[in-house]
């Protein structure tokens, strides 16, 4: 009994010690666009380096620093800014109240602006309480965020595992599909937990997201999940994991100290990553409009590249000896392929998602959007439920959502989804809310 009390006491002390380690990330609060030839000419710029301010938010760092629409940002803290991506990357390394020196060109003249940066806006809702917490990870901390319905008591919780992108999930904005899903769940009586990937948002002392491998990302989600029992607002007998895209691969592979009541996934892959890549080269390229004969003639080269990468574990430097490598893969020297460290993708091949689903003996919901041209395989999603029912009879459920693409957008078919993939205006206005109804219905039946 004394040992138990000691452990609980130590846990409370540790939580207290770790509660103030993360500073709020800085935010500029300005919409930015890259410089092109015409913008450079109008602003008397020597080249296309930098980015121009298109709009400024109220109560923002940009407003406080007296930046103006039309200013061209060219340096921050003596670091040259080449484009919008460069600026975002630079700001992401800064924290609230950090001093900043910005060199701009305003109406053809160079100006230097000095001041302090404000922190990014916090998640805030009239119908929910938000708990900003943190999780020790490696030599630093991950930002962990719990959002729950207003009021006291214990709530069932959905632990969210997002897709592969390196992007913050803090204060995503009301038009983001993740935001719509998670807040839809909160309004139905569920708490939600979301965690930043290493290096994103407020995280500190961790490697950058684009530097880590798949194993590290998996361990980060493990770490965040395994502290859910330290929150008195969470009913630990009713924890659900919801994985989207890559999150659907991670979910059954997680090492959980508290068994989740159920795992739901959407838009994911079940067979090996090599198999997915090979099939993707056929199906997805056709949907995106590539000529059938052109696809067929290039297939053997693409297949060899994929085999060398996934199976033979060749490095980007070795793959780059093939002239087709740069044209077929999103490669940025020295280590990035498709915006992640190349080891991230290679390690995926070493995991068996089928074994992961076999080993999980809880309830399973596999959801496939019929217009998903990214996770295009209905079979893979059916297979998840089949594996669950094979080894744990009655546990697996497969559901399809008509007119729904990978990003939860309402579309007519896969081709329409591909056409609207980069049309953020269309996507923000055509969210398919059926995903919320399907998740809530399944979880309520389990409760």
- The pLDDT, as a whole number, for residue 17 is 34
Question: CATH number, domain at 98?
Answer: 2.30.42.10
Residue 170 pLDDT > 90: yes
| 259 plus 406 within the same structural domain | yes
What CA–CA distance (Å, rounded) separates 285 from 302? 12
Query: What residues make up the domain containing 55?
Result: 30-116
| 55 plus 149 within the same structural domain | no
- The pLDDT, as a whole number, for residue 418 is 94
| 138 plus 229 within the same structural domain | yes
The residue with greater pLDDT, 148 or 42, is 148
Residue 12 pLDDT > 90: no
| 101 plus 143 within the same structural domain | no
| 307 plus 337 within the same structural domain | yes
Instruction: Identify whether the C-beta of residue 84 lies closer than 8 Å to the C-beta of residue 63.
Output: no
For the record, the structure tokens of 203 come out as 């995280």
Determine the average pLDDT of the residues in 122-150: 96
384 domain residue, yes or no: yes
Q: 207-242, pLDDT tens digit by residue? A: 999 999 999 999 999 999 999 999 999 999 999 999
What CA–CA distance (Å, rounded) separates 326 from 329? 5
| 246 plus 320 within the same structural domain | no
| 109 plus 140 within the same structural domain | no
1 domain residue, yes or no: no
Determine the average pLDDT of the residues in 142-167: 96
Q: Is the pTM of this model over 0.85?
A: yes
| 382 plus 260 within the same structural domain | yes
25 domain residue, yes or no: no
| 407 plus 304 within the same structural domain | no
| 146 plus 266 within the same structural domain | yes
Q: How many domains does the chain have?
A: 3
| 259 plus 322 within the same structural domain | no
Burial class from Cβ neighbours inside 10 Å (0-12, 13-18, 19+) for residue 47 reads: exposed
**Which alpha helices (H) appear in 96-213, and where do they start and end?**
177-187
280 domain residue, yes or no: yes
| 247 plus 388 within the same structural domain | yes
Rg for the chain, CA atoms, rounded: 23
Task: Write the CB contacts of 421 (distance below 8 Å, at least 6 apart in sequence).
Answer: 405, 407
């Amino acid at each position: 009994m004394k040992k138990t009390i000691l452990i609980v006491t130590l846990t409370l002390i540790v939580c207290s010690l770790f509660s103030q380690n993360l500073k709020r990330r800085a935010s500029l609060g300005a919409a930015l666009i890259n410089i092109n030839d015409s913008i450079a000419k109008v602003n008397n710029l020597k080249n296309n380096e930098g980015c121009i301010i298109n709009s400024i938010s109220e109560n923002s760092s940009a407003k406080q620093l007296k930046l103006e629409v039309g200013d061209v940002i060219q340096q921050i803290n003596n670091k040259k800014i080449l484009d919008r991506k460069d600026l975002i990357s630079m700001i992401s390394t800064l924290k609230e109240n950090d001093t900043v020196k910005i060199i701009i060109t305003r109406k053809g003249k160079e100006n230097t602006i000095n001041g302090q940066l404000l922190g990014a806006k916090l998640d805030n809702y009239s119908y929910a309480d938000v708990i900003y917490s943190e999780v020790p990870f490696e030599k630093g901390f991950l930002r962990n965020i719990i959002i729950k319905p207003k009021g006291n008591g214990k709530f069932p919780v959905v632990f969210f595992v997002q897709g592969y992108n390196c992007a913050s999930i803090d204060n995503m904005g009301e038009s983001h599909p993740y935001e719509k899903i998670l807040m839809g769940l909160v309004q139905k009586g569920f708490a939600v937990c979301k965690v930043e990937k290493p290096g994103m948002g407020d995280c500190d002392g961790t490697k950058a997201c684009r530097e880590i491998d798949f194993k590290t990302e998996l361990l980060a989600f493990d770490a965040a999940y395994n502290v859910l029992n330290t929150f008195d607002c969470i009913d630990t007998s009713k924890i659900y994991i919801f994985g989207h895209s890559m999150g659907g691969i991670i979910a059954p592979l997680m090492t959980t100290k508290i068994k989740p009541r159920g795992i739901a996934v959407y838009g994911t892959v079940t067979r090996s990553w090599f198999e997915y890549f090979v099939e993707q080269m056929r199906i997805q390229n056709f949907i995106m409009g590539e000529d059938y004969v052109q696809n067929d003639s290039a297939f053997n080269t693409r297949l060899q590249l994929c085999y060398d990468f996934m199976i033979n574990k060749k490095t980007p430097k070795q793959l780059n000896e093939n002239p087709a490598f740069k044209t077929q893969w999103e490669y940025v020297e020295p280590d990035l392929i498709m915006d992640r460290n190349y080891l991230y993708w290679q390690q995926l091949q070493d995991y068996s998602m089928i074994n992961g689903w076999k080993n999980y003996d809880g309830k399973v919901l596999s959801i496939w959007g019929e217009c998903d041209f990214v996770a295009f395989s209905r079979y893979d999603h059916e297979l998840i439920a089949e594996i669950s029912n094979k080894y744990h009879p009655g546990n697996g459920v497969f559901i399809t959502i008509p007119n729904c693409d990978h990003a939860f957008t309402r579309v007519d078919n896969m081709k329409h989804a591909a056409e609207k993939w980069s049309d953020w205006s269309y996507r923000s206005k055509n969210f398919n809310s059926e995903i919320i109804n399907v998740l809530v219905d399944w979880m309520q039946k389990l409760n």
